[in-house]
Amino acid sequence: MDLDLEFLRELCLCPAPSGFEGAVQAVLRRRLEGVAETHGDPLGNLWADIGPEAGPQVLAVAHADQIGMIVTHVDEAGYLRIDAVGWLDHQLLPGHTVLVHGADGPVRGVVGRLPTHIVPEAERGKAAPIREQFVDIGAHDRAEALSRVAVGDPVTFDQGFSELSPGRFASLAIDNRAGVYAVVRGLELYAKAGGKARLTAVSSAHEETTYMGAKALGRRLRPDCVLVVDGTFTSDYPGVDAVRISGEVTLGGGPVLGLGTTTNRRLTSLAQEVAAEEGIAVQIMAHAGQMLTDAEELAAAGEAALLALFIPMRYVHSAAEVADASDIEATAKLIAALARRLGGVFEPGMFVP
């Protein structure tokens, strides 16, 4: 099964920090037209269903939003002040270009940086807190800047989508557009093969900030099983300790099953069994506490068995994350295959310890 490169590229290049997920959801509505009816809510969530309503309700959830920034102030000289949306490392910004997504389209800017030559030696190699940084859009004054952007506009890295080598891609927002790709492709595969479960693909909102989209979805959709799909760290590049991240995870090694305090071990074992039957290699990562995904919020609804399914990624939460096509497609295949199996074996209470 080959990666649909243009679909993944389009998803990754959508500007959609938390609270601004509309661009991603618009792509999905077009993609799923003729496959499944899409639904949405005021929070920005989108979902689509395939399969009989009487079957077990299986949710495959991936978050649409990305880390980014928001314009908080425009000073008299026309410089923009910003704050982080999500877990953004402020050291990534100085000297880099960004896009401010204004009402009339994107406006390119540069995050200001003092020349190293004039920075006191004790301060070299350090970055100011993000609220002390500024974006230069070339405006002469405040009025000119405000004619192009506004307080409250979202800001993203100015970064493209590149194929580093056959099947390996670098882009902003691969966390978690690769996951969105996988749940949608999984739904498409399930639609072709059929099954007795009701599979719902969900592109959720606000994961990088408040998990508010997942909180609402757990109450609204009342699933029997939830497959949360997100990106996770790999241990296969310099400076990363497999012990510290609780698992040896490699790019191209297959989807990662998360074993944690909120995941359901019986559902995870079933996923491992299905993966083996389908010839899908899987990796394992342990989670002693929060997974920092939508998982806990969806599990808290109290009615669904939870499976944590991760796509390996290098350089998570940077301007250029790296993922492997085989991991993304294998995740989609596993989602569809597991939904088919659940349609045949599910019984109420089967995942209760």
Q: Residue 286: which CATH number?
A: 3.40.630.10
Q: Give yes or no: residues 95 and 40 share one domain.
A: no
* Residues 149 and 271 reside in one and the same domain: no
- C-alpha 288, offset from chain centre: 21
Cα–Cα distance, 119 to 132 (Å, whole number): 16
pTM of the model: 0.96
Q: Is residue 163 part of a domain?
A: no
Decide if 222 is inside a domain.
yes
pLDDT of amino acid 1 = 59
Average of per-residue pLDDT across 70-95? 96
Q: Which tens digits make up the pLDDT trace of 225-268?
A: 999 999 999 999 999 988 988 889 999 999 999 998 889 999 99
Residue with tokens 């670098």: 170
Contact 88, 68 (CB under 8 A): yes
Q: Environment class of residue 284 by beta-carbon count within 10 Å: exposed (0-12), middle (13-18) or buried (19+)?
A: middle
Write the burial class of residue 113 (CB in 10 Å: 0-12 exposed, 13-18 middle, 19+ buried).
middle
Position 102 in a domain: yes
Q: Are residues 141 and 98 in the same domain?
A: yes
Write the DSSP assignment of 116-131 as a string of letters: GGGS-GGGTT----GG
At which of 157, 187, 213 does a domain end?
157
Give the separation between CA 180 and CA 171, rounded to whole angstroms: 15
Among 157, 188, 219, the domain boundary falls at 157
- By residue range, what is the domain housing residue 151? 68-157
Domain boundary among 157, 185, 213: 157
Residue 162 in domain: no
Q: Are residues 85 and 196 in the same domain?
A: no
Residue 87, classed as helix, strand or coil, is coil
In the chain, the number of structural domains is 2
Taking 70 as the threshold, does the pLDDT of residue 298 lie above it?
A: yes
Measure the CA–CA gap between 139 and 330, rounded to whole angstroms.
47
pLDDT by residue (tens digit) across 310-321?
A: 999 999 999 999
Average pLDDT over residues 96-105: 96
Do 84 and 18 lie in a common domain? no
Q: Are residues 178 and 129 in the same domain?
A: no
Q: How many helices (H) and strands (E) does the chain have?
A: 8, 17
H or E stretch covering 57 = strand 57-63
In a domain, 164, yes or no: no
